[in-house]
């Protein structure tokens, strides 16, 4: 083997890079990559400026600015009726870094990690680069319900971790109370780690509520939950997130975290700490639900059919009434010919399972959604 061979040969560019690059080339409306086309709150920008000019520009503590971790501990307590100590919260350079570091901290060569697909594209590379073995449980449209009996059957002596995601990217489905109960039963029987991707925790609609692993006493010894400020603050480019776990898991996480990023953006941490005092995140569900409503009303006039999606800022749609093309071919063609970019759902499956569905991001201005919807309605 060549000394120049890396740990992830053949991975190439992610589907998000591919479709966003194509959208830029074609001057298309980008409903592919998950970022807003509007700015964050001016008050938050003012707070960042205050702390930039106030001298908060040196290294933050490795675990994160204490004021931010304290306010997050209070937030978790009020949201999930579960006391969390600030020292069990670690600020990270986005949720992706938190997820990667959590896998790196615990997965050794040969360890198996159960991945529920469709799955966000960073999970499997994180497992493989650490010598782990992904074990896939495939969900199916339109419901994408988790088959817990199949999950349980996949656990063996080599299983170290299960990665879950709710609200779920790309489908927008959410874990319900019965799923938490099934998860509790699983860890009581099998004793495996749970890595829970909860970055869209506040983007839950239809009167539903986010079910977090943090609210379960049974899961507490086994669970790590990852969150993202970018999804709540409309500032994905700031790349700030955090992970919550018990003392033992946090210690192992920080053993790796301190030798990767060590600490994260200092003035922005202080700004978010001040901003969160107003509990601004409580208004997020209504804000995004109105955008989902607009997109769905537009799609009602089209040949697309939208699938159930109670959370995130993504809407999965079925295009089988329009074309028999593969989802990748369809997504590329409508980007080139009709100037609207999307993400093919098959890219979230290791075997490229194709159910004629694409993902649309509705974290956009109303005018953007209306322009895109007008085009999609004519297909």
Distance CA 327, CA 164 (A): 24
Q: Around 195, how many Cα atoms within 13 Å sit in the side-chain half-sphere? A: 28
Are the CB atoms for 59 and 223 separated by under 8 Å?
no
Q: What is the pLDDT of residue 253?
A: 98
Report field, pTM of the whole predicted structure over 0.75: yes
Cross-sheet strand order for the sheet of 112-117: 89-92, 241-245, 223-228, 193-197, 159-165, 112-117, 133-138
pLDDT tens for the chain, 379 residues long, are 688 888 888 777 889 999 999 999 999 999 998 999 999 999 999 999 999 999 999 999 999 999 999 999 999 999 999 999 999 999 999 999 999 999 999 999 999 999 999 999 999 999 999 999 999 999 999 999 999 999 999 999 999 999 999 999 999 999 999 999 999 999 999 999 999 999 999 999 999 999 999 999 999 999 999 999 999 999 999 999 999 999 999 999 999 999 999 999 999 999 999 999 989 899 999 999 999 999 999 999 999 999 999 999 999 999 999 999 999 999 999 999 999 999 999 999 999 999 999 999 999 999 999 999 999 999 9
Which residues make beta-bridge pairs with 225?
A: 196, 244
Distance CA 234, CA 88 (A): 26
Q: What is the pLDDT of residue 1?
A: 64
Distance CA 344, CA 302 (A): 18
Q: What is the pLDDT of residue 15?
A: 92
Domains by residue range for the chain, with CATH: 15-40+282-376 (3.90.1150.10), 44-280 (3.40.640.10)
């Amino acid at each position: 083997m060549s000394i120049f061979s890396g740990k992830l040969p053949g991975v190439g560019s992610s589907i998000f890079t591919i479709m966003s690059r194509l959208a830029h080339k074609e001057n298309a409306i980008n409903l592919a990559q998950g970022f807003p086309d509007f700015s964050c709150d001016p008050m938050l920008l003012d707070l960042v400026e205050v702390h930039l000019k106030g001298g908060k520009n040196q290294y933050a503590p490795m675990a994160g600015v204490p004021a931010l971790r304290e306010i997050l501990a209070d937030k978790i307590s009020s949201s999930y009726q579960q006391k969390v100590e600030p020292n069990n919260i670690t600020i990270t350079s986005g949720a992706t870094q938190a997820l990667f570091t959590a896998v790196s901290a615990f997965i050794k060569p040969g360890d198996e990690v159960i991945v529920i697909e469709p799955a966000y594209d960073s999970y499997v590379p994180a497992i493989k680069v650490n010598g782990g073995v992904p074990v896939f449980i495939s969900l199916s449209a339109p419901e994408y319900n988790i088959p817990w009996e199949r999950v349980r059957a996949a656990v063996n002596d080599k299983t170290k971790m299960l990665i879950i995601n709710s609200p779920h990217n790309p489908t927008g489905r959410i874990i319900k109370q019965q799923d938490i109960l099934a998860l509790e039963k699983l860890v009581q029987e099998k004793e495996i780690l749970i890595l829970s991707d909860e970055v869209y925790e506040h983007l839950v609609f239809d009167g539903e509520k986010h079910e977090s692993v943090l609210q379960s006493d049974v899961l507490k010894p086994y669970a790590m939950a990852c969150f993202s400020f970018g999804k709540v603050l409309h500032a994905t480019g700031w790349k700030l997130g955090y992970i919550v776990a018990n003392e033992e898991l946090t210690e192992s996480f920080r053993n790796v975290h301190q030798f990767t990023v060590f600490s994260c953006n200092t003035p922005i941490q202080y700004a978010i700490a001040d901003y969160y005092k107003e509990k601004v995140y409580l208004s997020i569900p209504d804000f995004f639900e109105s955008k989902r409503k607009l997109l769905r009303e537009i799609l009602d006039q089209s040949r697309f059919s939208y699938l159930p999606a109670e959370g995130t800022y993504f809407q999965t749609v079925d295009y089988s009434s329009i074309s028999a093309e593969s989802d990748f071919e369809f997504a590329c063609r409508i980007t080139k010919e009709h100037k609207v970019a999307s993400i093919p759902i098959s890219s979230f499956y290791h075997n490229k399972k194709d159910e004629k569905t694409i993902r649309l991001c509705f974290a956009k201005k109303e005018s953007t959604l209306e322009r895109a919807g007008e085009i999609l309605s004519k297909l």
